Amino acid sequence: MRIIGHVDMDAFFAAIEQRDNPALRGKPVIIGGLKHSPRGVVSTCSYEARKYGVHSAMPISKAVELCPHGIFLPGNMEKYRQVSEELQRIFASFTSLYEPVSIDEAYLDLTETYKKYSSLWELGRAIKDKIRGELGLTASVGIATTKSAAKIASDLEKPDGLTIVLPSDFDRIIGSLPVGKLHGVGKKTAERLEKMGIKTIIDIRKVGRKAMVSTFGKHGDWIYNLAWGIDPRLVEKEHTRKSIGRETTFPRDTADPEVVIKALDELCADVANRLQKRGLWGEAITLKLRTADFRTTTHTLTLKRPVAAKEDLSEGALLLLKKHWCRNESGHAPALRLVGVSVSDLTDVKQMNLFESHPLTKIDLLLADLNKKFGPGVVTTGNIESCEEKD
């Protein structure tokens, strides 16, 4: 039996701001935009702001309506990322087997660590205390024997929670929760289950494996297992992460190539930085474009060799932009609301020798790949404004 912890920081970005500025403590702090230019969405907010109904992904304009006296801050990603790294060092001090799943959240395999503690409560408290002591922030911790139960547990007593779910407690603590709490049960699946009269996690068991599979296919089998507390996923080290990326919403929709290219360049610098800090290389670059009318497209370039340098990412992203951000009939490229860059097909640097000694992927490799796909000469390294071809 494995002991798995799930740690998730409370109101992460907002809590960091409150930590660093005592005047913000106890106040409704909303991160993601400014009150007087209410564009974009809420990235997160303090628990004081949640009382007004404000939550992540809500338009800032709506948050202003709900909480007009809120303190709106644009946020400081660089700082949050730094804290996230400090947090990871704390995880590493408890176990070498930890798996970050987002900027403020990770699974920890505590099977060995637990042997040094008299109880799981003591271990859970030690993790929380260390985070509070070293970072001045609160975390919510769930400890269980599977990833699924640990994640559900960490959410149950937020903020500053500690919940332990042993297999014998599973039915009591988790069984009566709504199906949507299960990993992999999204809004649509939850709605379909509800139509079948299934509201709680225990209800799923009553349906039986066969009916779950015939309704949801393989996914039904997965959900059925989770409902019984069965989840074979192990904690895996970070290099198994699927992608690293970042996106940005423009303050104003823009069709200005200079603005777009500059934004892409900054995103690539940031993604490269994160890849390098984590010792990762990626073999596919994805560009995300969202036009003013919210139409969102993604375009992926598969490389012949893994890359991690900013120049390579920029080059790849630019080629994709050139190919896919095209002029319409009136001769204008559509105004963009958002651009994003991500890198996937990740490889651990340890399997690649050292960063420094590895030759950077050259632009000709990228060109070769694109030209193979789209025909010779379709893509050249030119000015982005000369975007001619159409899909």
| Binding at 94: pick from Mg ion, ligand TTP, none (beta carbon under 5-8 Å per type) | none
Q: Among 27, 52, 56, 228, which residue interacts with ligand TTP (rule: CB under 6 A)?
A: 56
Residue 139 Cβ vs ligand TTP, minimum distance, rounded to whole Å: 9
Closest CA to 84 of 331, 277, 267: 277
Q: Among 4, 9, 31, 226, which residue interacts with Mg ion (rule: CB under 5 A)?
A: 9
Name the segment binding Mg ion (CB under 5 A); options: 30-38, 55-63, 100-108, 182-190: 100-108
The sign of the CA dihedral 22, 26, 31, 33 is negative
Closest CA to 341 of 322, 312, 361, 317: 317
Q: Which two tokens stand for residue 204?
A: 């799923």
Q: Is 8 in the site for ligand TTP (CB under 6 A)?
A: yes
Q: Is 8 in the site for Mg ion (CB under 5 A)?
A: yes
Closest CA to 74 of 28, 29, 26: 29
Q: Is 104 in the site for ligand TTP (CB under 6 A)?
A: yes
- Could you tell me the strand order of the sheet in which 98-102 lies? 98-102, 105-109, 4-9, 139-144, 162-164
Q: Among 1, 22, 36, 57, which residue interacts with ligand TTP (rule: CB under 6 A)?
A: 57
| Binding at 225: pick from Mg ion, ligand TTP, none (beta carbon under 5-8 Å per type) | none
Q: Among 3, 9, 141, 185, which residue interacts with ligand TTP (rule: CB under 6 A)?
A: 9
Q: Is 16 in the site for Mg ion (CB under 5 A)?
A: no
Q: Is 12 in the site for ligand TTP (CB under 6 A)?
A: yes
Residue pair 283/347 in contact (Cβ under 8 Å)? The answer is yes
Q: Which residues of the chain form beta strands (DSSP E)?
A: 4-9, 29-31, 44-45, 71-73, 98-102, 105-109, 139-144, 162-164, 243-254, 280-291, 296-307, 336-348
Residue pair 110/116 in contact (Cβ under 8 Å)? The answer is no
Q: Which is nearer to Mg ion, 163 or 189 (CB)?
A: 163
Which position among 17, 48, 99, 105 bears the catalytic label?
105
Residue pair 163/151 in contact (Cβ under 8 Å)? The answer is no
Q: Which two tokens stand for residue 56?
A: 């992540």
Residue that is written with structure tokens 């730094």 in the block? 82
DSSP 180: G
Q: Among 4, 13, 141, 343, which residue interacts with ligand TTP (rule: CB under 6 A)?
A: 13
Residue 174 Cβ vs ligand TTP, minimum distance, rounded to whole Å: 18
Alpha-carbon distances, residue 386 vs 222, 263, 363 (angstroms): 49, 19, 19
In angstroms, the CA 210 to CA 308 distance is 46
Residue 39 Cβ vs ligand TTP, minimum distance, rounded to whole Å: 15
In angstroms, the CA 375 to CA 369 distance is 10
Q: Among 17, 48, 99, 104, which residue interacts with Mg ion (rule: CB under 5 A)?
A: 104
Q: Which is nearer to ligand TTP, 9 or 320 (CB)?
A: 9
86 is catalytic: no
Q: Is 270 in the site for ligand TTP (CB under 6 A)?
A: no
Name the segment binding Mg ion (CB under 5 A); options: 10-18, 52-60, 69-77, 318-326: 10-18
Residue 373 Cβ vs ligand TTP, minimum distance, rounded to whole Å: 33
Map the footprint of ligand TTP across residues 116-175, applying CB under 6 A.
158-159
- Contact footprint for Mg ion (CB under 5 A): 8-9, 12, 104
Catalytic sites, residue numbers: 105
- Contact footprint for ligand TTP (CB under 6 A): 8-13, 43-44, 56-57, 102-105, 158-159
